[in-house]
Amino acid sequence: MGKLYICGTPIGNLEDVSIRLLKTLRKVDFIVCEDTRRTIKLLNHYKIKKPLISYHEHSKKEKEDYILGLLMEGNEIALVSDAGMPGISDPGENLVKRAIDAEIPVEVIPGPTAAVSALAVSGIDASSFVFVGFLPNKKGKRREEILKLKEEKRTMVFYESPHRLIETLKDMQEIWGEDRRIAVARELTKVYEEVIRASLKEAVSYFELNPPKGEFTLVIEGDKTEKEASLEEILREVKELIESGINRNEAFKIKAREYKLRKSDLYKSFIEKYDM
């Protein structure tokens, strides 16, 4: 049995490779990649010559069967995408799942990813975040998705293309409010790298003056508005959480944090009201 290596590759700067990545690319029998022209650039830079197999979003099941067959015959294969980590808004996920199902050893060679790099440089709370990736192309569906995330408390990370950026920012501004903080990370690790830290309103104005070019990752703070509710409503929400199966202590913790109350006060009122 061979082995499948999931390899992270640079998101721009070709020097963002690890020694282990280069060793792996040098030792494998094949490299499975998205666009051979992109991968050849990286390989040429490090003078690596390997047979390439193209595998992309529209690859058929037969292509996966062929790659899995090579692995079962004992070949070692590196899986790369055009940039960053395979499987993260990139092809690879299905191949990895099928390799795991077939009990083929799978190992990760970690590398750069635009989402985590943008989060790290954003200056926005990174203690807990949601990776959303690309929003739907169609306006209606996109707005629906943005609406669903209106009360998301955690920081959110999105990928966006330059020609949709302004429209997406405007939708976010309209649905989430103009003051929400955002970091727009553009062309990270490349010559024209820039990070715009602003409110949604300021970001829209900036890009209307400076038409977006290049690759963009958006990091946006979660909903910070304080919810208002009567004690009665809060206690009912605690009860609903407990009834939905959430650990009792956790339910008090969640609601106390949400409404900025002391957990012990909430607990006391709850016992008085529900005697449970």
The residues that touch ligand SAM, with contacts defined as CB under 6 A, are 11-12, 81, 83-85, 88-90, 113-115, 159-161, 185, 187-190, 215-217
- Pick 2 or 84: Cβ nearer ligand SAM: 84
Number of residue whose CB is nearest ligand SAM: 84
CB of 94 to ligand SAM, least distance (A): 15
Q: 77 by DSSP, 3-state: which?
A: strand
Q: Is the dihedral of CA 197, 198, 204, 208 positive or negative?
A: negative
- Pick 188 or 242: Cβ nearer ligand SAM: 188
- Pick 168 or 238: Cβ nearer ligand SAM: 168
- Pick 157 or 251: Cβ nearer ligand SAM: 157
Cα 167 from Cα 185, distance rounded (Å) = 17
Q: Which two tokens stand for residue 190?
A: 């490349």
CB of 84 to ligand SAM, least distance (A): 2
CB of 13 to ligand SAM, least distance (A): 8
- Pick 24 or 256: Cβ nearer ligand SAM: 24
- Pick 25 or 242: Cβ nearer ligand SAM: 25
Measuring CA to CA, how many Å separate 162 from each of 36, 88, 188, 194, 211?
Answer: 24, 19, 14, 14, 8
Q: Which two tokens stand for residue 47?
A: 């003078």
For 255: left if phi > 0, alpha if psi spans -120 to 50, otherwise beta; the answer is: alpha
Q: 78 by DSSP, 3-state: which?
A: strand
- Burial classification of residue 92, based on how many CB atoms lie within 10 Å of its CB (0-12 exposed, 13-18 middle, 19 or more buried): buried
CB of 19 to ligand SAM, least distance (A): 20
CB of 91 to ligand SAM, least distance (A): 9
CB of 57 to ligand SAM, least distance (A): 9
Measuring CA to CA, how many Å separate 51 from each of 29, 73, 136, 247?
Answer: 7, 16, 35, 53
